[in-house]
Amino acid sequence: MSRDTSLKRLVRSMGLVSVVLALTGCSLFVGRAVDGASTNLTNAILNQDDPETVRDGAPAYLLLMDSLVEGSPDNAGILRGASGLYAAYAGVFVDDPERAKRLAARARDYGARSLCADSARFCDIGGLPQDEFESVIAGANASDVPGLYSYSLGWLVWLKANSEDFQALVDLPKVESMLERIIELDEGYERGSAHVYLGMLQTLLPPALGGRPESARGHFERAIDLSDGRDLSAKVEYARSYARALYERELHDRLLTEVIEADPHEPGLTLFNTLAQRDARDLLATADDYF
């Protein structure tokens, strides 16, 4: 599997989770007058079992987020919400390469600005050398986790959209460093999804070229534990990224069968679980050709 294909499936998965950031954040900053309506909208989307409905409605919400940023350009919560929604839409629903690049650039920019708004020490860290970048990230604390998470997801979407640019891919270790720091500070954030992304990053390459499949396996299993097995996308990525890479057919089929047989309806996860079940059926259908 090419690195480009691996990045595409990585961003597709994490883009879905970033909807949580975009939507749950909105109820925190839109204002008291519309707080209840925003919360209800959040719940309606996350509990939607028809992804096409979410896809069709997302563009209008992007414009709403832009307007909120215009009105409060230094509000970290608004910037995180905008970054999350742009990351989700560009990473999951946009097929046109040039359009994806434009939207992904905005996701990354909003993510970087949100982290800077949280603390000036994080401003412009994206351009630092790897060792200096890691030194700054090491100084993050638990209150910085939402900003780190938003920035890392926006950055991954941008990397996917620019995956033909080798210079862009050089920055993957920086994203990995942010995800590792998130886990150190609050591994249960967003039901442990940072573990899923690290597992996927660590299986982008074969072991001979730097891949770490056994470390990845630990991350996938921990993510499943942290969500009590209710986040079905963690099992799908475990099967796709690890079991397929190591040709473990029994593990692969067991995980996907568990996903298909599960009830996808779970507060806050129904949308993601519905898409995970679609992926699980596709992977099982092609298993005989793969193994």
Here the CATH number for the domain that contains residue 29 is 1.25.40.920
- Summarize the confidence of residues 192-204 as an average pLDDT: 91
At 252, list the tokens. Answer: 């692969």
Count of beta carbons in the 10 Å neighbourhood of residue 209: 8
Whether residue 120 is found in the same domain as residue 219: no
Whether residue 64 is found in the same domain as residue 198: no
Whether residue 203 is found in the same domain as residue 178: no
**Residue 245 confidence (pLDDT):** 93
Interaxial angle between packed helices 145-161 and 97-118, expressed in degrees from 0 to 180 and rounded to the nearest 10: 160
Whether residue 2 is found in the same domain as residue 139: yes
Q: How does pLDDT run across 140-165, given as a tens digit for each residue?
A: 999 999 999 999 999 988 988 888 88
Q: How does pLDDT run across 85-117, given as a tens digit for each residue?
A: 888 888 878 889 999 999 999 999 999 999 999
Separation of alpha carbons 9 and 48, rounded Å? 22
Residues 103 and 82 sit within 8 Å (Cβ to Cβ): no
Helix (H) or strand (E) holding 75: none
Residue 280: domain span: 193-291
- On the question of pLDDT at 41 being above 80, the answer is no
With a pLDDT cut of 70, the percent of the chain lying above it is 85
Whether residue 42 is found in the same domain as residue 173: yes
**Residue 54 confidence (pLDDT):** 81
Whether residue 115 is found in the same domain as residue 52: yes
DSSP 50: -
Whether residue 175 is found in the same domain as residue 82: yes
Whether residue 115 is found in the same domain as residue 165: yes
Q: Tally the domains of the chain.
A: 2
- On the question of pLDDT at 220 being above 80, the answer is yes
At 20, the pLDDT band (50, 70, 90 cuts) reads very low
Q: How does pLDDT run across 113-122, given as a tens digit for each residue?
A: 999 999 999 9
